[in-house]
Amino acid sequence: MSATHRPSATPATPVATPAARVANTAPATPASTGTGPAGRPVPALLLALMAAPLAAGANAPVLIVPDIAGSLGVPVGAAAQLLTAFGWAVAVATPLLAGLLRHRGTAALLRLSAALVLAGALIVAVSPWLPLTLLGRCAQAAGGAGFVAVAIGLAGTARRMGVVSAGFGVLGAAGPLLGKALAETASWRLALALPVVAMLAVPAVGRRAAATRAASAPAPGRFDARGAVLLTALVTALVLLATAPLAALGAALVAAALLVPHVRRRPEGFVPVALLRKPVFVGSALLALTVSTSYFTVLLTVPRLLADRAGWDPAAVGTGQLLALLAGSALSWPLAAVSSRMSRAAVRTVLASTGAASALTAVLADSGPLLLAATAAGVFTATAANAVLSTHAVAAAPDAGRRPAAIGLFTLAYQLGGAFGPAAAGLLVLGA
């Protein structure tokens, strides 16, 4: 997804997860649809199987942080860094690995992502120390982000990307319960290995992408290492805003002050100026950031509001929120499926109005069902935005060589909502 998360008593804290490509712009081409001149696209269910385990793995520790802390001999607050580190690694790795996709192609990114996921799972399986376990989790997150970048690039249509995005929402919502079940029946280490499930789809995705000529070929040009480092520093500072606001804000301002002139000197570098000059791309990314921030704010405040305003006990809160998240995620697919027959303005109006209704309901409602409806509307909006707005953003790329950069930067904007949402929840509602 994504995102910085705090452990809670509820089973629903989905990661901010990436998504989509395509839609109602120009007619589809082999470069934009994931198909070749001869051959069928990589099945959307395969792409979902490869990408969505990232969401389950991100949220698997939510309910078992105390067990992990006891096993590793650390305080619960320290063990909660397993959630924060995963979200940070996804946010940082997404644009970096999208850059690798641009310069090395799909096959190379699949190999690297698979190696990262497997190595991370192995480290988590044997690590006796929290720092080493954090390293393993970061490797898993980076590998999963690479799988997501490939899935976005191969999806091709909003309808197909809707399947992937809905998979993110469903597995993200179920992740805490899956993690708890695996920890109780086997080990918390197995629960943290959920991203490995993606490996079931990787060989088939690689073969089908190559057979249909859907795999991205390497783009010419030298990798902009300085731009990558500066963007990584900026993202890291933004992710840390919720935990160390003053220091993070200062670091973000310094990183931005260095990145802006660098982008001007390297207009074809890691952050292509041609993308930043496209109103469609910028508008899509900003709306995705807004929707994602609103969703994660609602997600983290509704459990407290259900207890305080509606008098629900923790078990009812957890069950109700899980059902709301599953329903909202599933309902997002129909909107993605019909978005190609809607204008961009109409799609954005639906997303903006539904997101606003979600936030307003959370602020004003006292009824338990209404608060759950706010959660369902929030995840519906965020998941649909992944499947549709990213389509608009990627379609805005002036050529195929810049599409991976569009994927990485758009997804980064969405991921940052997972960092800003918890901060907004703490300031506005939770009083943290």
The CA distance from 308 to 363, in Å, is 13
CA distances from 179 to 93, 132, 166 (A): 24, 20, 20
For residues 345-361, give the mean pLDDT. 94
Q: How confident is the model at residue 39 (pLDDT cuts 50, 70, 90)?
A: low
What local confidence, expressed as pLDDT, does residue 212 receive? 65
* 71: its two tokens: 């096993």
Question: HSE (CB half, 13 Å, CA atoms) of 108?
Answer: 13
* Res 139 pLDDT > 90: yes
For residues 380-397, give the mean pLDDT. 87
Structural contact between residues 52 and 383, judged by C-beta atoms closer than 8 angstroms: no
The dihedral built from the CA positions of residue 213, 28, 273 and 2, taken in this order, carries a sign that is: negative
What local confidence, expressed as pLDDT, does residue 221 receive? 64
What local confidence, expressed as pLDDT, does residue 278 receive? 92
What local confidence, expressed as pLDDT, does residue 216 receive? 54
What local confidence, expressed as pLDDT, does residue 131 receive? 95
For residues 311-336, give the mean pLDDT. 89
Global pTM reads 0.80
Is 219 strand, coil or helix? coil
Express as a percent the part of the chain with pLDDT over 90: 40
Taking alpha carbons only, the member of 138, 130, 154, 133 closest to residue 34 is 154
> What is the DSSP code (8-state) at residue 426?
I
| Rama region for 216: left / alpha / beta (φ>0; ψ in -120 to 50; rest) | beta
Taking alpha carbons only, the member of 307, 425, 428 closest to residue 368 is 307
* Res 210 pLDDT > 90: no
Structural contact between residues 42 and 214, judged by C-beta atoms closer than 8 angstroms: yes
What local confidence, expressed as pLDDT, does residue 245 receive? 81
Count the neighbouring beta carbons within 10 Å of the beta carbon of residue 387: 33
| Rama region for 123: left / alpha / beta (φ>0; ψ in -120 to 50; rest) | alpha
* Helix orientation angle between 225-239 and 403-425, rounded to the nearest 10 degrees: 20
Over the chain, what is the mean pLDDT? 83
Is 200 strand, coil or helix? helix
pLDDT digits (tens, 9 = 90+) for 233-281: 998 898 888 778 889 899 999 999 999 999 999 988 888 898 899 999 9
CA distances from 271 to 96, 229, 254, 403 (A): 11, 11, 17, 12
Count the neighbouring beta carbons within 10 Å of the beta carbon of residue 315: 10
* 303: its two tokens: 């459990």
* Res 362 pLDDT > 70: yes
pLDDT digits (tens, 9 = 90+) for 166-175: 888 888 888 8
* Res 282 pLDDT > 90: yes
* Res 19 pLDDT > 80: no
For residues 16-33, give the mean pLDDT. 35
The CA distance from 190 to 217, in Å, is 36
pLDDT digits (tens, 9 = 90+) for 105-121: 888 899 999 999 999 99
**List of residues 6+ apart from 73 with CB closer than 8 A:** none
What local confidence, expressed as pLDDT, does residue 288 receive? 92
* 205: its two tokens: 């995705």
pLDDT digits (tens, 9 = 90+) for 422-431: 777 766 654 5
- The residue ranking higher by pLDDT, 345 or 38, is 345
Structural contact between residues 150 and 21, judged by C-beta atoms closer than 8 angstroms: no
